Structure 1
């Protein structure tokens, strides 16, 4: 009887083979992880510079794993654990992964808003390793979805590409600064864990309505404007926003921008226990891009999400949300 769960077994394979590649190729753990993930997908060893001893070690570990024995969620979680290990070894501010609980909740919300659609497109303009996008795609497996991810970080995009292959998810990935012009058709839905901070390119920022009057502009403001621009009329946007967004400098300008271009559908406060400190706290902001046939909701959905470890409180907020959906549809 195997003592490990499927997720632990698959993580062990990712981890141990990545360590071999890291040593053999003199690269970082995350680069090595991308190499071994691509090998598993291709069912072959693609690195010619590997020593014969290392090849035998790696092949032995691959032979113990049959990918079709794992669900997409088991595969995503095992891959995510390996990425998290690599990020702890090489900490960079832009290498942060959206926690599972947030991705699952956004997947639930998206499913509610798009209940009547069996086919649509989703874009994440700050896709990173793809964990948020993959969580949502796995959650909506009964729908026919096409997804797009954009990121400026080549390593994160490589990890996302390997993850999309392993999960057999239909994702097109673009390597570029998302705040530069995007040659991408508008999507039905945007999901994004907004990159928070200042955008260094003042020349490019000057093209945006939400640019700062002085100094560098907020990247998260510009990402919201760019996302709305790349959403189809009537489409929905799900953002993870800083808790202090509506109290920050320029918030009045942001309010005016939303009044002109989008309907605020809801703001959901996430439990503080999800974050290391109060400054890192986030909320979920749900917008609908304005169109001729759209109307603002009779009442914006406002709620604070309880800890997911409290099933009774979670059930209560779900009931409240279902009631809001019914009333807003009527």
Structure 2
């Protein structure tokens, strides 16, 4: 079946390029995908390939590349290709934030920061920068972003994706917990990786280090993110629901009480997860600073299925009202 939408056309083109590069080199699909993106950016096939294949791809690039692609279209086409590549790679840290969730987190960041003239964002676990892109694509003001990622393959895709969308993003090949080069930012948005952090010597300098054994990587990233936030800045984090039930949860609770105010907790629909134990929520925090006050009523909700448009729109109307009452969004 012929691709019909601009997203499908771009996906078909980059997938063909990636598969061809993968076939004629020893690269994985995800590595080849980064190179396919670079071809589109350069408008030229830059790899050493058999002449016939190179000519075929160059012709396809010149004749089938969609015209003025919107940023969201570019992001979604690459997202489809990344998902295909991740199924092949099957590495635990290779997992993508669901599209509806990424878009919803962008909506939340937009509401929280609506009164700011410019915006600096950080994702300390950026992956392919899909989440960061989704947030930037919804930003109502001039924005710069910083992303750190320890996996070089994912970082290469993030670099290409940011370039193609013409986003002002600075990317760092770093372990964010050990070292993070980002300046202070207005908001941190991240789908937190979950598990244990292996470098006990690095974790020792953190307030949220475990009393014994390895520390939780998601706890350490919260602390690191807090340290890179400006006073009054926001954390919009995708977290596992079990985070508040672990043996280290009381220490996390005390730390948050000292450093921030809790604005809200939005539980994602259970239908999104194969089992209750994998459920996630979006946690909204604001770092303490002048003029920062705890809301009289935090934003607590269990979100309806993203496929139930009417229920979701009704929920967002209620949330819009909450943001306005708290003084975050006066544009309504």
**TM-score class normalised by the smaller sequence:** over 0.9
Write the distance in 2 (CA, Å) between the matches of 1:309 and 1:325. Answer: 24
Please report how far the alpha carbon of residue 135 of structure 1 lies from its aligned counterpart in structure 2 after TM superposition: 0.6
The DSSP-based 3-state class of the residue aligned with 1:285 is strand
Matched, 1:133 2:127: no
Correspondence for 1:21: 21
Please report how far the alpha carbon of residue 276 of structure 1 lies from its aligned counterpart in structure 2 after TM superposition: 2.5
Matched, 1:102 2:116: no
Correspondence for 1:122: 121
Correspondence for 1:184: 182
Write out per-residue CA displacement over residues 230-259 of structure 1, whole angstroms, 9 at most, x where no aligned residue: 000000010000011111111111111011
Correspondence for 1:5: 5
The DSSP-based 3-state class of the residue aligned with 2:326 is helix
Correspondence for 2:154: 156
The gaps in structure 2 that reach 5 residues or longer are: none
Correspondence for 2:290: 292
Please report how far the alpha carbon of residue 210 of structure 1 lies from its aligned counterpart in structure 2 after TM superposition: 0.5
Write the distance in 2 (CA, Å) between the matches of 1:77 and 1:15. Answer: 13
Write the distance in 1 (CA, Å) between the matches of 2:233 and 2:259. Answer: 12
Write out per-residue CA displacement over residues 154-178 of structure 1, whole angstroms, 9 at most, x where no aligned residue: 0110010011111111110000100
Write the distance in 1 (CA, Å) between the matches of 2:38 and 2:221. Answer: 31
Please report how far the alpha carbon of residue 75 of structure 1 lies from its aligned counterpart in structure 2 after TM superposition: 1.1
Please report how far the alpha carbon of residue 115 of structure 1 lies from its aligned counterpart in structure 2 after TM superposition: 1.1
Q: 2:319 aligns with which of 305, 308, 321?
A: 321
Q: Is the 8 A contact 2:268 2:282 kept in 1?
A: yes
Correspondence for 2:257: 259
Please report how far the alpha carbon of residue 65 of structure 1 lies from its aligned counterpart in structure 2 after TM superposition: 3.0
Correspondence for 2:110: 111
Write the distance in 2 (CA, Å) between the matches of 1:177 and 1:320. Answer: 39
Write the distance in 2 (CA, Å) between the matches of 1:319 and 1:40. Answer: 40
Correspondence for 2:220: 222
The DSSP-based 3-state class of the residue aligned with 1:329 is coil
TM-score (norm 1): 0.96
TM-score (norm 2): 0.95
Please report how far the alpha carbon of residue 181 of structure 1 lies from its aligned counterpart in structure 2 after TM superposition: 3.0
Q: Is the 8 A contact 1:199 1:218 kept in 2?
A: yes
Write the distance in 2 (CA, Å) between the matches of 1:26 and 1:52. Answer: 18
Correspondence for 2:37: 37
Please report how far the alpha carbon of residue 3 of structure 1 lies from its aligned counterpart in structure 2 after TM superposition: 5.5
Write the distance in 1 (CA, Å) between the matches of 2:23 and 2:320. Answer: 52
Correspondence for 2:61: 62
Write the distance in 2 (CA, Å) between the matches of 1:285 and 1:111. Answer: 15
More displaced 10-residue stretch of structure 1: 231-240 or 247-256? 247-256
Aligned length: 327
Correspondence for 1:306: 304
Q: RMSD over aligned Cα, in angstroms?
A: 1.3
The gaps in structure 1 that reach 5 residues or longer are: none
